[in-house]
Amino acid sequence: MRDSATTKAVIEILNEINNSRKAADRICSAYFKAHHFIGSNDRRRISECVYTILRNKAKIDWIIQQISSGIKEIKESQNTRLEVLVFYFVLQHATTRLRKEMLLGDRNFQELSIAEEKFFSELQRNDWLTLLNVNALPHVLAEIPEWVYSIIHNQYGLSHNLIRQCFEQPDYICLRVNTLKSSRDNIIVELQRMGITSKVSSFSPWGIRLGYGKNISSSHIFQQGYVEVQDEGSQIISLITQAKPGMRVLDFCAGAGGKTMAIASMMQNKGFILATDVHSDRLQRARERMKRSGIYNVKTQILDKKCQDHFNTSNAYDIVLCDVPCSGSGTWRRNPEARWRLHEEELNRLTQLQTEIINQAKMLVKQDGYLFYSTCSLFMQENESIINQFLLENSSFQLITVQDWLLLNKLEFLQKLLSEDKLFLKILPHKHDMDGFFAAILKRKC
């Protein structure tokens, strides 16, 4: 593809991301499917441009604001084009000659307006990266909204450099081996045969790390269900449930079934798992994945009023996993667009929903059974605050410290993932090099 065609594609994808709630990776996939003539190398190049802009949005927007404040003709609708200009000519240090090849004289790209020409001229006058590092506020350098920076800084006492590390792109992807079909050692050998270098994950006994950008979705080990792409933190949430063959397990917010499948493997396809969710499309994806993985002890069900009425009279479960909808802040390093979509009002709404869900789920835990509450959030108000309030209002449940649970179940190798008070599981991206997760363990006494 010519540079101008690449630029056009980047702008079209960014415009859709900025005007949608869909995940950026899904938008990119849909775009490439609709533009099937784009080759694999060009797809990779376009994706890298899009994600570099998303990961540097705060810095790019800071530079745009400094320049455009003096250019009254600049319109908000031009912002994506300005982001691309800053990306190429500040972050990528493109030359003026390259500008003409990329942006002008080609039917793929609309020529710069008068206002954009003024913007581009100002862009060339200063060393914007130096000015940025000297003058920008800490939340800009950390690449998160200011209100989020305040929460994380106050909660963890981290410098902006450490906060930034929480959201930096990981340099690997993680696989979970389906132990119903193979072993981790066998899959590593097979990856080596395929020419893919890999290593075992740091904590999960099923995890394998590959270099970032490796695409295995078309490989036989993925297509035949030997492995799934799943972050190590997510794997550990399933691991700590210690679900055993023959148990009755409810995955209350199952989504597309990643944790459900890991639990089914732990149970060796024996016993019963009910996977529920309010989104039928996610459950459909879960069914497709489970079929591929050879899992047959799981029933999926839409979580609606009729389903909830059934729950009130049904047998209780040995384990109920509540991986509740949350801000997803622990996964923002892989989903950079999500950090700009969350607002304080939405966070407040989520905490109310989390409280409702855990109070619905509590009724489905049998006596001496366990309720596992988890999020992929870094925010205390979605984690410890929910559990503390729940315990105040529900004397029939007691908190099992994760430290005690790990010792009881011979999972001492996870001790480094505990919160400072040893009460909870608390995985932090900058500290443990995986997505951020929180988990609490509650036992029903009566």
Is 224 a member of any domain? no
Looking at the structure, do residues 26 and 130 belong to the same domain, yes or no? yes
User: Domain tally for the chain?
Assistant: 2
Do residues 297 and 272 make contact, with C-beta atoms less than 8 angstroms apart? yes
Report pLDDT for 105. Answer: 44
Segment 103-107 long-range contacts (CB within 8 Å, at least 24 positions apart): 103/4, 103/7, 104/4, 106/2, 106/4, 106/5
- SS3 state at 3: helix
Ramachandran angles phi, psi of 444, nearest 5°: -85, 120
Q: In this structure, are 296 and 415 located in the same domain?
A: yes
Q: What's residue 313's pLDDT? A: 47
pTM here?
0.91
Contact 387, 399 (CB under 8 A): yes
Range of the domain at 93: 3-136
More confident residue, 366 or 107: 366
Our CA dihedral for 433, 438, 439, 440, rounded to 10 degrees, sits at 140
Q: Are residues 124 and 238 in the same domain?
A: no
Cα 399 from Cα 371, distance rounded (Å): 10
Domain termination site, one of 98, 115, 136: 136
Please indicate, yes or no, if residue 247 is contained in any of the structural domains: yes
pLDDT band at 315 (very low <50, low <70, confident <90, very high): low
Listed residues 119, 136, 153: the one ending a domain: 136
pLDDT of res. 171: 80
Same domain, 248 and 115: no
pLDDT-wise least confident of 38-47, 109-118, 181-190, 267-276: 109-118
In a domain, 223, yes or no: no
Which residue from 278, 296, 277, 259 is spatially nearest to 372, judged by alpha carbons? 259
pLDDT digits (tens, 9 = 90+) for 218-247: 899 999 999 999 999 999 999 999 999 999
Q: Is the pLDDT score of 318 beyond 80?
A: yes
Query: Is 430 part of any domain?
Result: yes
CATH of residue 324: 3.40.50.150
Is the pLDDT assigned to residue 442 strictly greater than 80?
yes
Instruction: Tell whether the model's pLDDT for residue 9 goes beyond 70.
Output: yes
Residue 347 inside a domain? The answer is yes
> Is residue 260 domain-shared with residue 407, that is, in the same domain?
yes
Contact criterion met (CB below 8 Å) for 109 and 7:
yes
CATH code for position 123: 1.10.940
Domain for residue 179, yes or no? Answer: no
Distances (CA, A) of 406 to 47, 232, 236: 41, 17, 12
SS (H, E, C) 365-403: EEEEEEEEEEECCCCHHHCHHHHHHHHHHCCCEEEECHH
* Span 120-174, pLDDT tens digits: 888 888 899 999 999 999 999 999 999 999 999 999 988 888 888 888 888 889 9
Each residue's pLDDT tens digit, 268-282: 999 999 999 999 999
Identify whether residues 290 and 395 lie together within a single domain. Answer: yes
- As a whole number, mean pLDDT of residues 330-334 equals 94
Length of the chain in terms of residues written: 446
**Domain identity same for 278 and 132:** no
Q: Is 350 in contact with 327 (CB distance < 8 Å)?
A: yes
**Assigned domain for 426 exists:** yes
> Is there a domain that residue 55 lies in?
yes
CA 122-128-130 angle, 5° bins: 150
pLDDT tier for residue 263 given thresholds of 50, 70 and 90 = very high
State which of 136, 153, 177 marks the end of a domain. 136
